[in-house]
């Protein structure tokens, strides 16, 4: 079974700073996908960024980028130039290729302070 | 595209009562998923449908839980004889088969409180 671990329950930074959220996972699979989701107070899970395990290049979406270390089974999220609207719960998630279910970590509560 | 819609947004019930939640997926999506999220945790997979067929069920889905998607459109999740441990947010998501990796959309959930 796959597990996803987020070791930082809470983080807080000042607006415009850069912040990195950590995620590690455990799997025996070779082909899989990794995701970061954002859950604001509205409760809707919103996809931030995704990564295919077979790709060596780290995914980037505007201010969001990941550091994917397959051998170390690590998948961290970097948010650059953080904004007040980035305040939310962030969840790391894993999906085995061909499967339909996401396995989520426990989440990190990120607060961006003005 | 109106997004994934879930009703009700909140539900308070007494222990032992039955409750039913509804999810309306994005109209062209043929896959529909249910997840449960307890306080301070990430969502956990419960079940998913492709069209009207329920293709996978988690062990979390005890025999008090039943999910249906009778016409391959909206879905209902019923919990019979609710227990306090059922208190959680129930999330629905939908996607188009073959595009789950790229286009999985979540609703805003139904928050269940069992007193």
pLDDT score recorded for residue B88: 97
Tell me which of A1 and B91 has the higher pLDDT.
B91
Q: Do B31 and A100 touch (CB under 8 A)?
A: yes
**CA dihedral for B36, A9, B100, B103, sign (positive or negative):** positive
Give tens-digit pLDDT for B8-67.
999 999 999 999 999 999 998 999 999 999 998 999 999 999 999 999 999 888 899 999
Is the CB of residue A23 less than 8 Å away from at least one CB of chain B?
A: no
Residue A56 in this model has a pLDDT that exceeds 90: no
Interface probe, candidates A5, A10, A39, chain B, greatest B C-beta count within 10 A: A39
Asked if residues A22 and A11 have their Cβ atoms less than 8 Å apart, the reply is no
Question: What is the distance, to the nearest Å, from the Cα of residue A33 to the centroid of all Cα atoms in its chain?
Answer: 12
Interface probe, candidates A52, A53, A102, A109, chain B, greatest B C-beta count within 10 A: A102
From A33, A91, A102, residue closest to B45, measured CB to CB? A102
* Average pLDDT of the segment spanning A52-73: 95
From B31, B43, B111, residue closest to A104, measured CB to CB? B43
Residue in chain B closest to A40 (alpha carbons) equals: B108
pLDDT score recorded for residue B1: 53
For A48-101, give the DSSP string. Answer: EEEEETT--SPPEETTEEEEEETTTTEEEEEE-S--GGG-EEEEEEEEETT---
């Amino acid at each position: 079974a796959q597990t996803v671990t987020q070791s930082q329950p809470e983080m807080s930074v000042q607006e415009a700073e850069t912040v990195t959220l950590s995620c590690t996972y455990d799997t025996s699979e070779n082909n899989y996908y990794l995701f970061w989701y954002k859950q604001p107070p509205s409760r809707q899970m919103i996809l931030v960024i995704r990564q295919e395990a077979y790709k060596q290049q780290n995914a980037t979406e505007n201010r969001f980028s990941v550091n994917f270390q397959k051998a170390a089974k690590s998948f961290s999220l970097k948010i650059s130039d953080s904004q007040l609207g980035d305040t939310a719960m962030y969840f790391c998630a894993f999906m085995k290729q061909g499967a339909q279910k996401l396995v989520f970590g426990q989440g990190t509560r990120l607060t961006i302070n003005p | 595209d109106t997004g994934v819609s879930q009703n009700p947004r909140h539900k308070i019930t007494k222990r032992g009562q039955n409750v039913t939640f509804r999810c309306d997926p994005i109209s062209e999506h043929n896959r529909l998923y249910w997840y449960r999220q307890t306080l301070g945790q990430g969502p956990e997979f419960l079940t998913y449908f492709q069209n009207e067929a329920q293709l996978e069920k988690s062990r979390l889905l005890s025999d008090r839980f039943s999910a249906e998607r009778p016409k391959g459109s909206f879905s209902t999740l019923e919990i019979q004889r609710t227990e306090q441990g059922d208190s959680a947010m129930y999330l629905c998501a939908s996607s188009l088969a073959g595009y789950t990796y790229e286009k999985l959309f979540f609703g805003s959930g139904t928050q269940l409180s069992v007193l």
